[in-house]
Amino acid sequence: MTTPPSGPAASRASVTARAVITTEAAGGRTRLETLRSDPPLTLRQTGPGLVHLVSTAAGPLGGDHLLLVIDVAPGTELEVRSVASTLVLPGSSPGDSVMVVDARVGAGASLRFSPEPTVLAAGCSHRMAVRLSLAEDANVVWREEIVFGRHGERPGRCRTRFDATVAGRPLLRQELLIGDPAVDASPAVYGDARCVGSTLIAGPAWDAVRDQKGERRATIGDGWATLPLAGPGVLASALAQDTVELRSRLERAESMADVYAGHMAGENGACRAATDTSGGRRAVAW
Partner 1 sequence: MRQDIGEGRGAGMRDRPSGDAALLLLADSRLPAGGHAHSGGAEEAVRLGTITGPEDLARFLRGRLATAGLVTAALAAAACELAAATADHPAEPYGQADGDGNTPDAGTDADPARPWRRLDAEADARTASPAQREASRVQGRLLIRTARRIWPSAVLDTLAKAVPEGAHHPIALGAAAASAGCDPYQAAMAAAYNSVTGPATAAVRLLGLDPVTVHRLLADLAPALNDAAHAACASLIDDVVPDGAPQNGPAHNAATQNGAAAKTRGSGWPALPGHTAPALDLLAEGHLNNPMKLFVS
Where on the chain is the footprint of partner 1 (CB under 8 A)?
Answer: 161-163, 165, 169-177, 180, 182-183, 185-191, 193, 196, 198, 214-218, 220, 223-225, 227-231, 235, 237-239
Which backbone phi and psi does 118 adopt, to 5 degrees? -100, 125
- Which one, 17 or 101, has the nearer CB to partner 1? 101
CA 164 – CA 76 distance, rounded (Å): 19
From the CB of 163, what's the least distance to partner 1, in Å?
Answer: 7
Q: How would DSSP label each residue in 97-123?
A: EEEEEEEEE-TT-EEEE-PPPEEE-TT
**3-state DSSP call for residue 56?**
coil
Residues 6+ apart with CB under 8 A from 239: 190, 191, 193, 195, 196, 197, 223, 224, 246, 249
Task: Give the DSSP H or E segment for 242.
Answer: none
- Which one, 22 or 226, has the nearer CB to partner 1? 226
CA 114 – CA 145 distance, rounded (Å): 9
From the CB of 197, what's the least distance to partner 1, in Å?
Answer: 9
From the CB of 148, what's the least distance to partner 1, in Å?
Answer: 12
CA 265 – CA 201 distance, rounded (Å): 13
- Which one, 2 or 133, has the nearer CB to partner 1? 133
- Which one, 81 or 126, has the nearer CB to partner 1? 126
**3-state DSSP call for residue 254?**
helix
From the CB of 233, what's the least distance to partner 1, in Å?
Answer: 10
Count how many residues are written for the chain. Answer: 286
CA 40 – CA 66 distance, rounded (Å): 8
From the CB of 265, what's the least distance to partner 1, in Å?
Answer: 20
From the CB of 211, what's the least distance to partner 1, in Å?
Answer: 12
- Which one, 139 or 198, has the nearer CB to partner 1? 198
- Which one, 175 or 267, has the nearer CB to partner 1? 175
Q: 144, 162 in Cβ contact below 8 A?
A: yes
